[in-house]
A and B are shown apart, each in its own frame.
Chain A
Amino acid sequence: MELQKREEEMLSGKCGAGLKKCMEILVAVGECNDAAKMIPVTSVHMAGNYSVMETEGIDWLEELARGGSRVKVFTTKNPEMYDFEDWREFNVPEELQEKQNRINNVLKDLGITLLYSCHHYLAGNSPKFGDHIAWASSGSGAFANSVIGARSNRDGDHTVISAAITGVIPEYGLHLSSNRKGQVIVKTGNLNISEYDHSEFQAMAWHIGKKVRDKIPVFIDLQPETVIQNIKAILYSLTVTGAVGLVHFVGITPEAPTVEAACGTSDIGSLEHLSLTQEDVDKAYREISTATDQKVDLVIFGCPQCTIQEIGEAVDLLEGRKVHPETQLWFCTSGWVKTLCKRMGYWEKISAAGGRIVADIGAACGPYLYLPKQGVRVIAVNSARASYYSHNVTGMETWFGSTKECVETAIAGTWRGRQ
C-alpha cells in the first residue's frame, strides 16, 4: 500500500517502538485487504475485556504504554468485570481486582477514557455521518454504520488501538462507498411486526443473520417510526449470527433513502431476496435459549447495557413486588445511567424489590468470571447476544425471553417464558 511520509516514518521506527508496532499492525491489516492507503479516524472504541485479553494482554498494553504511546483520537472502553463503586458487595476475587486495577491504570496511561460502557455512542463517543471510525465491538459498529452512517469495519482491539495511537486506519471494507451497497433484500411483510416486542425483533434478526452471513441486508418494510430500541435489538442480534457490519433500513439509514440508493442499482430484482415467515422467527426464538433447568439463579439485563428508558420500563413491572430469595436480579449499565437511576428514584425501587443496578459491566461476559463460583449457573436474559456469549464463552445455561417474562422469572424464581 501507498504510505504518506509520516506513516513511513512511523513504520521505520523513527517515531519510537510503539508507533512502529502500531503501524506494522495497520499495514498488515491493509495488506490482507488490499487497502490502497491509510485514512484518518475520528473515533475509537476498544472492546477486549479481561476474559479474552488475559494477563498477557495486559502485559502487551503495559509495554505499549511504557514506550510512551498515547492515543491521538478520542477512545473509549467497553464494559469490564465489576462495578467500580460497589465492588465490595460482589465478592470479586482479589486476583481479578488486581487485574482490573492494572487495566484501569494502563488504559489511563494510554489516554483511553475509562467509560466501561457499550452504549458509548449515547455517552460522549458519538461520530457523525460519513466519519471513519474504528470500533471493536460488532453491535455498536453496526449501529454506527447503519443508524449514524459513520464507517467502521469489524476490527479487533489491536487494530483499533493502533488506529487511536497513529490516527489512521487502512482504507478497506466498509470505509469505501463501493463496499456499502445492499446485497440481500429482506422482506418482513409476512410478519406481524407492528405487534413485535423487543425479544421478537431479536429472534427475527437471529434468523436473518444466519441467512445473510457476511452479505449486507436491506430491510425494505420496516416502518421509519420503529423505535431505536427495536433497531438496536435487530443489530445486536444480527451481528451475532451474521458477520455483518452494516444493515440498510430503508427510510432510516442515512445512505438508504430508497431501496435503489441502498443497493446502488435500480435492478433490485437481480439481487438475492429473503422472505421470512413467523415459523422462522419462532424457531430462532427457541434456538437462542440453551438451558433446560427451570430454576433460575440470576436474571440479568444489559446487553448492550441498559438505557435509562429500559430500566424505567422494568421498574414499572417490578414496583411493589419482591424478587425470589434464591434468584438475583441485575441491571447492567454505564456509570452515568446508574447515577441517573439514583436521581430518578429507580435505584430505591429496584433495591426495595431485591434487585441491583450494576455499573461498568455488561450482561454478556464480564461477571461470569466470578459468579459461577458463587453458585450462579442458570441465567435468564432478554438479549440474544447475552445468551450466545455467556453460554459459549463462559458456559452459562441461558433462558431467553421478553423483559416482562424475565421480570416475572425473577419474582417466581423459575423460568416464566417460552420453553
Chain B
Amino acid sequence: MMKIKAKTIVKGIASGEAIISRMPISFTGGVDPNTGKVREPGHDLEGKSIAGKILIFPVGKGSTTGSWQYYATYKRGNAPRGIINLQAEGVVAVSAVITGTPMVHRPEQDPFAYIKDGDMVTVNGDEGFIEIG
C-alpha cells in the first residue's frame, strides 16, 4: 500500500483499475458517450474505454462544452469512477462535480512513476489522497 497526498476537487471515495494517459483529454469529440471509448485519433488511449476505471491524466483540454458530454457519458454508465489530474481545469472539475465523481489533483508525488494501467487505485477525496494497491 502506498499513499500519495493530493488536493481534493470533489469529495468521496472511489476504487478501481487505473487507466493512464500522458496526454490531455477533451470530452467533446475526444470520448464517445455511448461507449466510454477514447476516439481522438492519435491519442494514447485511442480505442480504450475509460468506463468504470480510475482515470489518471495530466489535464483537460478542448471545448468548454465537455462537461455536457461528460454528463451524458456518465448517465449512460460509461464514465470513470474517479479522476486524478496533475492539474485540474474548469471542464474536468465541473464534470466531476455534476456527476459526484471523486476527484483529486496536484498529487505530491508523480503518479505516473508509481501507477501503471490495471493497478488497483483508490481516490480519496474526503481526506485528499491516492492509495495504490
Interface residues of A (CB under 8 A from B): 21, 24-25, 28-29, 31-33, 47-48, 52-57, 59-60, 136, 138, 154-159, 392-393
Contact = CB atoms under 8 A, between A and B. Distances in A.
The residue among B29, B65, B74 with the most chain A CB atoms within 10 A of its own CB is B65
A158 B70 CA distance: 12
B24 to A, nearest CB: 11
Contacts of A47: 64-65
B102 to A, nearest CB: 12
A21 B28 CA distance: 22
Given A32-B88, A60-B71, 9 more contacts: A24-B97, A28-B88, A31-B88, A32-B89, A47-B64, A52-B69, A53-B68, A156-B66, A157-B68
18 contacts: A24-B97, A25-B94, A25-B97, A28-B93, A28-B96, A29-B93, A31-B7, A32-B105, A52-B28, A54-B68, A54-B72, A56-B75, A59-B75, A156-B91, A158-B67, A158-B98, A392-B29, A393-B29
Nearest to B61: A243
B65 A31 contact: no
Interface of B: 7, 9-10, 28-29, 33, 63-69, 71-72, 74-76, 87-91, 93-94, 96-98, 105
The residue among A54, A55, A157 with the most chain B CB atoms within 10 A of its own CB is A54
Nearest to A53: B68
Nearest to B11: A24
A52 B63 CA distance: 10
Given A52-B65, A56-B72, A57-B68, A32 B29 contact: no
The residue among A33, A156, A159, A392 with the most chain B CB atoms within 10 A of its own CB is A156
A168 to B, nearest CB: 15
Given A32-B88, A57-B71, A157 B64 contact: yes
B63 to A, nearest CB: 8
A155 B66 CA distance: 11
A53 B76 CA distance: 14
B90 A29 contact: yes
A21 B88 CA distance: 19
Closest 5 CB pairs of A and B: A156-B64, A52-B65, A32-B88, A28-B93, A56-B75
B93 A57 contact: no
Given A52-B68, A56-B72, A60-B71, A158 B28 contact: no
B94 A156 contact: yes
Nearest to B7: A31
The residue among A25, A28, A56, A59 with the most chain B CB atoms within 10 A of its own CB is A28
A55 B34 CA distance: 13
A138 B90 CA distance: 14
Nearest to A154: B64
Contact of A28 (B10, B64, B65): B10
Contact of B97 (A28, A48, A59, A136): A28
B93 A32 contact: yes
Contacts of A25: 94, 97-98
Contacts of A156: 64-67, 90-91, 94
Given A25-B94, A54-B33, A157 B67 contact: yes
A158 B94 CA distance: 7
Contacts of A57: 68, 71-72
A28 B67 CA distance: 13
Given A24-B97, A25-B97, A54-B33, A32 B66 contact: no
A155 B71 CA distance: 17
A32 B90 contact: yes
A28 B94 contact: yes
